[in-house]
Every structure is written in C-alpha cells, then in structure tokens.
Structure 1
Amino acid sequence: MKKALIITLSLMMVIFGLAGCSNDDKKQEANNDSKSEYNIADTQKVEDALKDESWVVVDTRLNDAFNGWKLDGISRGGRIKGAVDFSANWLNVEVDEKKVNKEEVLNEALETKGITKDKNIVLYDANGKDSKEVAEYLKEKGFNNLYLYDVNKWADDDKLPMEKYKNYQLIVPASITKDVIDGKKPESFENAKNIKIVEASWGEEKTSYAKGHIPTSFHINTDEIEPPAVEPPMMWMLADDETLKSVALKYGFTKDDTVIVTGEEPMSSYRVATVLRYIGVNDVRVLNGGTMAWTMAGYELETTSNKATPVEDFGGVIPGNPDVIDTMEETKEGLKTPDKFTLVDNRTWDEYIGKSSGYSYHDKMGRVPGSVFGYAGKTDSYSLDYFRNIDKTMRNANEFLDLWKKQGIDTTKHLSFMCGSGWRVAEIYTYSDVVGLEDISIFSDGWIGWSNDSSNPTETGEPKK
C-alpha cells in the first residue's frame, strides 16, 4: 500500500513538475521571441560602437537621466560619453497637429543626431522598456540594424566613462518633484531648506492655475514681476527692485529657500525662476518639461487653491544676485567691447532681420547693432524649437552649442542673452547654466525696451558677413 502511494505521489510530482516546466519554458520562449528580432549588445560592443562612425549609440531614457539624474535605480547618473539622445517619451507626446507636425519634428531629431538607416544603432535604457519602444518605432520606419543594451551594466563599472551636465540639478524631473512633495529628500535635495513649489503663469488663477497644477504649488501671476505699462506703448518690463522685494515678501520667499517653479508653459516658469535668482533666492530650480512632464509621468494635477505664507524679512539684500540681469547701460557698455562681450539675440530669424516685430502689441522691427543671432524658435515669439525637445524638455546642449559656434558665438566671452522682453532668454539662460557656462546674463529689457527708446540705434536686413 505504501509502495503504491509513493508511486502515485511520484507520478503526480512528475506530472505537475513537467507542467510547471512547460509553463516556464513557454514564458521564456515568449521572452526570447520578443527579443529575437533585435540583437542584444554587450558592453564591449558598445565600447567598439563609440569608436566607429558607422555606429551610433542612443540614450532612449527620459532626458532627465541623460542630463545627469539617477533614475530607474541606476547606480551612476548621467549618460554614456559619446551617446546621443532620442527619448521614448517623445513618442508618447500628444500635440496639436494643426500647430505641430509631430512626425516631422521626430524625423528632424533623428537626422540631427545622426540616427540614420545606414548606421548600426545601439539603443540603451535602464528599465528594459524605453529602448524596445524606440526600436519598434524605428523598425516601422525601415531601420534594420538595431541593438539593445542595458545601461546598468555600464553604470556599474566605474572604469567606464559617464558624463552629466555640470548643473543638471537646476532642471528637475517629475519623479524627483513628486518625492519632494511626498516629504522625501531625493538626490541633490538632501540639504534643502524651506522647499516651495510655485506655479508661474500669466493672469489670475482662473486663467491656468485653477484648471490643474502640481500639488501643493501656489500661483504667481507673471504680471506681478513685470507689471504692464499704464500708458502706451504697451509693454511688460521687469519691475524695479523695490517692487520685486514686495513680491518676494508677499509670497514668503527668503534667500535660504529651495524653490521649484512649474507651469503649463515652461517659458513662464523660467522667467519667474530667473527673477527669483536675481532677487537672491539661493536655490531655484524648474520642473523640466513643466506640467506636461508631470502628467506624462502618470501623476495627477490638483485644483485646490494653495496660498503662500507672507514673510517680513527676506534675510538678505535685494537684489542678492544682480549679475543675472544686465541693465540698459551695462549692455551699451558691453557692446563697446566685442572682444569680451557678446549680445546674443534669441529671437526668430524674421525678428532678427526686421521682417517681423514678433508681437501684436509692438510694431518696431529690427535688431540691436552688434548683436549676434543666437536662435530661438521657428514660428513666433513663443517658440523655442532650437532649445527644446517635443516634450518641452531641454534639448541636447551639444546641438544648440553647435549652432552658436556656427554663428561665431564664443562661449568664453560674456554672453548677454536678449529676446523681446526676457521670457525666451530666461529659459536659454538657465540651459546655459545647466551646461556650465558661467559668464552669462540676461538683457531683460530686450528688443522692446531697446527699440522704445528712439535714441537707441537699430538696423534691419541680413547682417554683413
């Protein structure tokens, strides 16, 4: 009887064991099938690819990881030195097709980064998903020589070079912002004090803020830092220092705060952020990609109206960092020494050559004599195509630095960035700081301030070579 029972149990174990093995085998087979269409690169293959012009190594992660943040559990932050970027996140961006041709933008990105069909392409990520998603996209476009690589293998070997932007922490990922809101002290926030989340946008709360904002954030109307003119000509110029001091106290800012500025339109976030830096707040950052980055990360917006707590003492002199802003007088003096100073005009080409003013409320067209075209966007005064990815994150700095180099802009000189009235260049100034450029500032009055003074010289047409 015992013998029969043992035999029966043994047969059952074998049957169930075989069934279990069969299921595991099927799962493994399915996994193998999903990978079989792509080659899996090892670290040596990646090292060789970086030395071979017929290969291109592509970082498919969020651009925050490319910039330097340690995301997805990676042991070292940054990118493989020599890699270009094409984020899987870009494929999932929803755009207004009447305004933006998404496929055209992505095709241009591929071409700019040298990701072409004749190349062997290594796509890497840290989560096992991003590179596969980009590979599927490229395969549909007719790319064949695709390899996948797990960048964790590279990061875990300290002998292999990774690089990050010097001040990558100035633009913050959505996941890090979420950690901060949840009371954690993530990377680079270990010593942060009095952390405040600010939503910056034009108009009253009902204009943008009330429709949905990052949780805990309070609203700042950009009109408070640049009040509209009380009489013609209509313009919005940066407020005087006394007014900015009042704004700082009203919203409870002190010099020792850590501030993350957010907003539906990142340009307004960067404008407020640079003003806070000028005032003297020691640690000011911006949510990279703005509200879009937050929602694409799967986080919810809130509609609760949060109010700031005023303070009576900023804790330091205002402005505490005056070098952020160049006055009209400083700009004029700088233009007299082109061997040391460059006024970089970050407007559209049509604005620069005097074909368009760029603004419905400003009709004067042209440029400041001696200024150098430094790019911005392709369409209007709210576009920054040459500095942003399609998901509104910071573009690969090598790409806009290369554009500047072709324009003869020497980044070892003092660069004073100007646009119409300081919005576009606030973002460009911050990106330059992220990269590590140190001798930089903003000519906040910009073209509007310059051209409204009839005593200032102007010029139009394409500059002489």
Structure 2
Amino acid sequence: MKKMLIITLSIIMVVFSLVGCSTEDKKEKEKSSSQGEYTIIDTQRVEEALNDPSFVIVDTRLNDAFNGWKLEGISRGGRIRGAVDFSANWLKVEADHKEDILNEALETKGIIKEKNIVLYDANGKDAQEVADYLKEKGFKKIYVYDMNKWADDAGLPMENYRNYQLIVPASIVKDIIDGNKAETFENANNIKIVEASWGEEKTSYAKGHIPTSFHINTDAVEPPPAWMLADDEILAKFAVKYGFTKEDTVIVTGEEQMAAYRVATVLRYIGVEDVRVLNGGTTAWTMAGYELETESNKPVAVEDFGGVIPGNPDVIDTMEETKAGLKTPDQFTLVDNRTWKEFIGEESGYTYHDKKGRIPGAVFGYAGKTNSYSMDYFRNIDKTMRNAGEFLDIWKKQGIDTNKHLSFMCGSGWRVAEIYTYANVVGIEDIGIFSDGWIGWSNEPNNPTEKGEPKK
C-alpha cells in the first residue's frame, strides 16, 4: 500500500512538472531560432509585453509596411499599436557615419540593452537580421514574433498613417509598371511616373531612372536665375507641355528626393488630384533589387489641363498671407525648416544667396544637421520617411502646435515640400508652404529680419 502511494505521488509530481515545463516553455522557450539565440513568442506574450515597460516592440519590416501598406501578403496593413521601428533595410545601406546614425536611432526609440526587445516581421527574415545585429552589439534579451499572426486576428488593434498612400513603396510602383492593379490604385486610370531632378537629363535621369518615367527639370517650375516658384501662367504652360491633366495619378521619383517632393507639391498646387512620391526615391528602387533603365522617355503634351490653375491654391502660402499670419500667432505658426546655423544667421545656406538671418516670429522646426540638402530629422538612413511620432515630438518640444495653421518654410521650398508631404501623410491638414521662403523674404528690402539665438 505504501509502495503504491509512493508511485502515485511520483506520477502526480511528474505530471505537474510536465505541465509547469509546458507553461514555461510556452512563455519563454516556445521555439528557438535557427541560431538558437532568440526566443520566438506568441501573440499573448506580445499583448502582455505591450503593457510592460520593460519591453520594447520593434517593427523590423520596410517602413512602408510600418506606415500602412499591405506588403508581403499580410492580411492587414499597418503596425502593432505602440511599436517603434528599426527596419532591417537600414542595415543594408551604405552611408557615411552609418553606425553613429543607427546608434542614435536605437537610443531615440528606446531600444537599449536593459530592455526586453521583441522584433517582429512578416517574412521570417527581417527580425532575424535585426536580432543578429543587436546580438553583435551585446543585446541579450531578444524575442522574435511573426506579425502575420497579429494581422490575421481582426480583434487585435493595428494603426497606420491616415494618408499613408501618399508615399509609395517600390514594390507597388513595380506592380503598376508590370500592369497589375495595386493597393490604393484600384481606381486610378491614367498613371504617370515622373523623375524629377535639377538640370538636364544627363545630370541624373540619363544615369538611370525608374522604368517608363519621363524627366522633369525642376527649372521648369522654378525658372533661373532666381529659382523661385513660377507664376501661375508659367505653371499652366508647364502642365500641358508635360501632359498633365487634373484627373491624372502621378508618382514622382528621383535620385534627390527633395526635387521629387518639390515637383509633387507643385503638381498638387496646380490641381492634379492624385499625386504621390516614391518613398525613398531611386535608392528604395535599387535596394528592392529592381533595375533602372537609361532609355529616355518623353512626355506627351495635352491641349487642356481640364481645370482652373491653381486648382489647390491652399498648398502655397503667399507672401501676403504669411505676413498676415505672423500677426495672429494664436492661429498661425511659421515653421522654419532650415539648419540651426541658417536659423540663427551664421550661414545663408545657399551659394547664390548671401543674406543671413531669419524671419521674426518664425519657430525653428528642424530639417538637417549639416547643409541645405540634409534632412536628418525627417528621414531614416535609407531615405524613407522617419517615424512621424519622432518629428512630432520634436515639434512639440519647440512649442509647434499642430492645431494651428502650420506654414513651412526653408530657403526656397525644396526641404519643406518633403516635410509638408510627411505632415500630410500623418493627417495634419491645416498646413501650407511659404514657398518664397528665406530667399524671397530677405530679397525684399523692407521685410524685417533678425539674427542670433531667439530669446526664451
């Protein structure tokens, strides 16, 4: 009898031990990665981690997927609410000071060694690549999750940017070129792809461009030698010469993205109803493994744009509107998106303009760290749009209230064309571009200017 009791108790202890191990395995050791270093966790653990400050949830996919696009066959587009981004694509970029840039990104996003790091993807590769990278940097508490499981459960919350469709992934552009119907383009009947760059075709376009695209020299919308936005009469002639109509869908690309965004905002201003930009430009295309072409494609002119130009005048804030807005700071903010040295008057930022300073009442809104072509505060290392929460946080610290009308300015409109679009992607609607910018303002002798650090 005693022997039977001992055997029975032993069996019970084994059963409890197995149950305990099973539960523990489910929570901590469900499945090892191919390298035996990272714990693959389930959806329940991710939900728990979202409410645990010791965890950071990281989206390792292309930033287009983070923004809202349904890529790689995922059933729902967008990201897990509360996730930050660190794309595996960033690890493939060749750039000066790459490690410094990536280290700054990790710190900004709270991806630090003391935290438990959950990396998710949808292709079974991106999270592994980022995990390997973090391991080399000394991270130890790394977990991996399959985002498809989250997307397939309609009861789990996901989020995206309201107007994510305004900046397009390379794979979607490829689908369009191949004649396929692509997400958010289902009703687009007349799609044109444009390469925008400064100078003649030989400057950039002839070296390689997105297939089927035709070239636009930015001088067409910003005539030299002033390189300021052309008047409406010139823009009307530009529209018909390059074959644009009001009902077109236009995707603008470029080696230098600011040129693409500049042309895109001009097209929106004149009244083209559906204008988008390739997120990451030519770099995104080649990093996706797609070939550029060198054949020169020519636009086909039209007789009539099909609407009044400008069809969307609110894109541009005129000099008069800007001066009036500065008198009502409770409703209007002029956001100066130049470098700090430009803002305080140490540099003009332009070889062809020597006046230095800023517009009184303007608020520093950041752009880049080095020169008038840098966009560090708004781009990732692969030239895609930065996590909007990060630049919105910067604006908040500057006292920039997105509930007011935000008028973005730089030197003459290139940098802010990109920033304006990003603000629009997020869903900020009461915005405009003071296209004359610092150059236009300072060229008028009666306009007030100031230098030095602003008084607090």
Q: TM-score range by the shorter chain?
A: over 0.9
Question: Could you say which residue in structure 2 is the equivalent of 1:184?
Answer: 180
Tell me what 1:113 maps to.
109
1:325 aligns with 2:316: yes
Q: Hey, what's the Cα distance between the residues in 2 that align with 1:447 and 1:162?
A: 41
Given that 2:33 and 2:40 are in contact with CA atoms closer than 8 Å, whether structure 1 keeps it comes out as no
Could you say which residue in structure 2 is the equivalent of 1:39?
39
Q: Find the aligned partners of 1:166 and 1:328 in 2 and give their Cα distance.
A: 30
Percentage of matched positions with identical amino acids: 81
State the match for 1:69 in structure 2: 69
RMSD across aligned positions (CA): 0.8
Residue 281 (structure 2) pairs with residue 281 (structure 1) = no
**Pairwise CA distance, 1:44:** 1.0
Aligned partner of 1:103 among 96, 99, 103: 99
Deviates more, 1:357-366 or 1:295-304: 357-366
Q: Describe the shift of the 1:45–1:279 C-alpha distance in structure 2 as closer, same or farther (beyond 3 A).
A: same
Asked whether the 8 Å contact 2:335–2:409 carries over to 1, the reply is: yes
The answer to whether structure 1 residue 297 and structure 2 residue 293 are counterparts is: no
Q: 2:260 aligns with which of 236, 254, 269?
A: 269
**1:184: how far off?**
1.1
Q: 1:32 to 1:373 in 2, by over 3 A?
A: closer
- For residues 398 and 145 of structure 2, the distance between their equivalents in structure 1, rounded to whole angstroms, comes to 37
Match of 1:199 among 195, 199, 213: 195
Equivalent of residue 404 in structure 1, options 395, 404, 425: 395
SS of the residue corresponding to residue 65 of structure 1 reads helix
SS in structure 2 of the partner of residue 34 of structure 1: coil
In the TM superposition, residue 162 of structure 1 has moved relative to its aligned partner by 0.3
Using the alignment, how far apart are the partners of 1:41 and 1:418 within structure 2? 46
Deviation at residue 33 of structure 1 after TM alignment:
6.3
For residues 32 and 265 of structure 1, what CA distance do their matches in structure 2 show? Answer: 43
**Which residue of structure 2 lines up, in the alignment, with residue 135 of structure 1?**
131
Does the residue aligned with 2:34 lie in a helix, a strand or coil? helix
When structure 1 is superposed on structure 2, of 423-432 and 39-48 the one drifting more is 39-48
1:362-398 superposed Cα distances (whole Å, 9 cap, x missing partner): 1111000000000000000000000000000000000
Structure 2, unmatched stretches of 5+, are: 1-30
Question: How far apart, CA to CA, are the structure 1 residues paired with 2:33 and 2:389?
Answer: 37
Query: TM-score, normalized by length of structure 1?
Result: 0.91
- The corresponding residue for 1:252 is 243
Secondary structure of 1:433's partner?
A: helix
Q: Does 1:220 align with 2:216?
A: yes
Aligned with residue 171 of structure 2, among 148, 171, 175: 175
Structure 1 counterpart of 2:149, one-letter code: K
Name the counterpart of 1:86.
Answer: 86
**Secondary structure at 1:105 match in 2:** helix
Q: 2:428 aligns with which of 437, 443, 446?
A: 437
Q: Is the 8 A contact 2:32 2:38 kept in 1?
A: no
Please report how far the alpha carbon of residue 346 of structure 1 lies from its aligned counterpart in structure 2 after TM superposition.
0.3
The one-letter amino acid paired with 2:184 is: S
Rounded to whole Å, the distance in 1 between the matches of 2:228 and 2:33 is 61
Aligned counterpart for 2:407 among listed residues 416, 425, 428: 416
The answer to whether structure 1 residue 376 and structure 2 residue 367 are counterparts is: yes
| Alpha carbons of structure 1 residues 363 and 153: separation in structure 2 relative to 1, 3 Å | same
Could you tell me whether the CA contact under 8 Å between 2:32 and 2:40 is conserved in 1?
Answer: no
Aligned pair count reads: 426
User: What SS class does the counterpart of residue 165 from structure 1 fall into?
Assistant: coil
Q: Which residue of 2 aligns with 1:343?
A: 334
1:210 paired residue among 192, 206, 217? 206
Give the Cα–Cα distance (whole angstroms) in 1 for the partners of residues 307 and 60 of structure 2. 43
Aligned mates of 1:307, 1:463 — CA distance in 2: 49
SS in 2 for 1:247: helix
Measure the CA separation in 2 of the matches of 1:67 and 1:402: 17
Deviations 1:383-439 (A, max 9, x none): 000000000000000000000000000000000000000000000000000000000
Deviation at 1:193, TM superposition (A): 2.0
Contact 2:32 2:39 in 1 (8 A): no
Residue equivalent to 2:12: none
- 1:3-29 deviation line (CA, Å, top 9, x unaligned): xxxxxxxxxxxxxxxxxxxxxxxxxxx
Question: Among 150, 163, 176, which residue is 1:154 paired with?
Answer: 150
- C-alpha displacement at 1:35, in angstroms? 4.7
Q: Is 1:386 aligned to 2:395, yes or no?
A: no
In structure 1, which of residues 425, 432, 437 is the aligned counterpart of residue 416 of structure 2? 425
Q: What letter is aligned with 1:50?
A: L
Determine the structure 2 residue equivalent to 1:236.
227
Distance 2:403 2:293 in 1: 44
SS of corresponding position for 2:193: strand
- Per the TM alignment, residue 185 of structure 1 is displaced from its structure 2 partner at its CA by 1.2
Q: Name the amino acid aligned to 1:65.
A: A
Letter in 2 for 1:214: I
Describe the superposition over 1:198-249 as per-residue Cα deviations: whole angstroms up to 9, x where unpaired. Answer: 00000000010000000000000000100012xxxxx310000000011100
What is the CA–CA distance in structure 2 between the aligned matches of 1:360 and 1:315, rounded to whole Å? 39
Aligned partner of 1:392: which letter? K
Contact 2:33 2:39 (C-alpha < 8 Å) held by counterparts: no
Q: Which runs of 5+ in 1 are unaligned?
A: 1-30, 230-234
Deviation at 1:37, TM superposition (A): 1.1
Q: Match for 2:120: what amino acid? A: Y
The Cα shift of 1:36 comes to 2.1
Identify if the C-alpha distance between structure 1 residues 153 and 33 changes in structure 2 by more than 3 Å, giving closer, same or farther: closer
What are the superposed Cα offsets for residues 288-315 of structure 1, whole Å, 9 maximum, x if unpaired?
A: 0000000000000000000000001000
Stretches of 4+ aligned residues off by more than 3 angstroms: none
